[in-house]
Amino acid sequence: MPLKAAPYSACGYNAITASNNQISVDFATEHVDYLETFGGPLDSEKGWVPGVSVTGSAMRNWFGLCNVYFFGRGTFLNGTTHYWASGGPVTSNTDGARISEEDFRLGKGFDLANNVMLTPYLGGGARQWGRNLSGPSGYHEDYRHAYLGGGLLLQYSPVHRLVLSTSALVGRTFNSEMEASQNGGFPIPPWTFPLGHRAIFMTESSADYAITPSVHANVGVQYTSFKYGQSPVNPFGFLEPDSRSHNVTVRAGLGWAFDAPLVARY
């Protein structure tokens, strides 16, 4: 005889809330597209950098509110990018890249229909990028910033096992800086350059499929765009120019949905 699960809560439980109560581990790869400008193109880094993401989210009842949304993700990437410069002793090279990103959300879901949910949220996080310019004229740079913003998450479940999600956030960076140091190449004096804060835009689309009530398969694509403003000139006569980054991250992996009910339709 088919089993019918008890209601998850007074707010109900469906494929969307099941998808939002999950921990997942994903293979990730990010296409870095970085360009420095100083009256024109100066140098760039491009390439796919592989790594891993760990994501956890929860949608719970909190202080009498239905569908309070929590989200956290950490991403670590390590690989190489292709360096191009408009001039100088090295105009093309392969450089090391190590990237870590942390993203968090807090929001509240609203049911637009039985299978559609809209979740406004506050988002924040940070990014760190270690850029190792190799060769006799090379040196090491560590870029980092934090961000805060507001976003919307729209989720739709066309069939019982599948949840499609799309989100967008607009915010602003802060604590942006670049720390330069030697790596055996160009004898640049170590220095931390404060960078100008700019707008940041993030959007992501993903699909979550429940293989079983507890085991889910996930795939998603994220696009992030932000800029750094030119730094002041340091005492050694160096500065960090304006730059922009357009990055695309692809993720695919498996998740475990906690509190999954026993529903025969699975």
Question: What confidence tens digit (pLDDT) does each residue in 70-100 have?
Answer: 999 999 999 999 999 887 777 888 999 999 9
User: Of the candidates 207, 213, 204, which has an alpha carbon nearest to the alpha carbon of residue 247?
Assistant: 204
- pLDDT the model gives residue 48: 98
What average pLDDT does the structure give for the chain?
A: 90
| Mean pLDDT to the nearest integer, 208-235 | 96
Pairing of strands 116-133, 92-108: antiparallel
- pLDDT the model gives residue 9: 40
| Mean pLDDT to the nearest integer, 122-149 | 93
3-state secondary structure of 17: helix
The yes/no answer on whether domain 15-257 falls in CATH 3.30.420.10 is no
In Å, the largest CA–CA distance within the chain is 79
**Are residues 21 and 257 in contact, defined by beta-carbon separation less than 8 angstroms?**
yes
Which range, of 39-43, 63-67, 134-138, 167-171, averages the lowest pLDDT?
A: 134-138
Which range, of 28-32, 47-51, 210-214, 224-228, averages the lowest pLDDT?
A: 210-214
- pLDDT the model gives residue 8: 38
